[in-house]
Amino acid sequence: MRKKRISINLFIIALLLLMSSVVSADTWFMHRSNKFNSILTAYYDSSVATYGYTSAYDDARARWGGISSDVSISKTTSTNNNPDKYYIGTTASPTLIGRMIPYTKTSTGFITEASVDDDWLYATVRMYYNNMNSFGMNYSQIVSNAVHEIGHSLKLAHPGQGTESSTPVPSGQYSVMNQGIQSIGPQSYDKNELIKKWGY
């Protein structure tokens, strides 16, 4: 009887550990437009073509494809239906190379900047030409920067900073969602986090 009780207890502990590993993720809470998937569209502002970054954004969007059937980002030429909006610009902040800002619609119908844990109506993705140029970033690094910011639009956080995280992230985790200049696309860690958030 005692052995049986120990076996049951060990099974429960193993099950709890498995459950905790499944729910832990470096992601933010809630969804996109009250949907349980991240099937998105992206509208490129005229600044993208003006600065010559259309291919970089195209390549970055494609990097997030084929990971989850519930995640895709297609390109649109219309601003109808609140697509995500991609920009290229400049900033006075000397180290900032990109930024994602989410937006939500209030109960009174106003569109306002959202917190990372709100349900988002759409997001804006920006890369900053002046700083990327100052840092001498090559095409691979620029695409990686775009992949990073688009990753945020998919509710992926920096490793160890997600509000849905329940386990520590190993030091030096290899991830496109790390801050800084990189030349990589989504890594195994990033793909796993995306699947944890949105499903297969």
CB 48 within 8 A of CB 86: yes
Q: For position 161, what pLDDT does the model report? A: 73
Q: What are the tens digits of pLDDT across the range 103-134? A: 999 889 999 999 888 889 999 999 999 999 99
Q: For position 138, what pLDDT does the model report? A: 99
Q: For position 22, what pLDDT does the model report? A: 36
Q: For position 89, what pLDDT does the model report? A: 98
Q: Tens-digit pLDDT profile for the chain (200 aa)? A: 544 444 444 444 343 333 333 333 465 555 666 565 578 999 999 999 999 999 999 999 999 999 999 899 999 999 999 999 999 999 999 999 999 999 999 889 999 999 888 889 999 999 999 999 999 999 999 999 999 999 999 999 888 776 665 456 666 678 999 999 999 999 999 999 999 888 88
Domains of the chain: 26-198 (3.40.390.10)
Q: Could you write out the DSSP letters of every residue in the chain?
A: -HHHHHHHHHHHHHHHHHHHHHH--SB-SS-BTTBSSEEEEEEE-HHHHHHT-HHHHHHHHHHTTTS-TTEEEEEES--TT--EEEEEE--S-TT--EEEEEEEE-TTS-EEE--TTSPBSEEEEEEEHHHHHHTT--HHHHHHHHHHHHHHHTTBPSTT--TT--SPPPTT---TTSSS-------HHHHHHHHHHH--
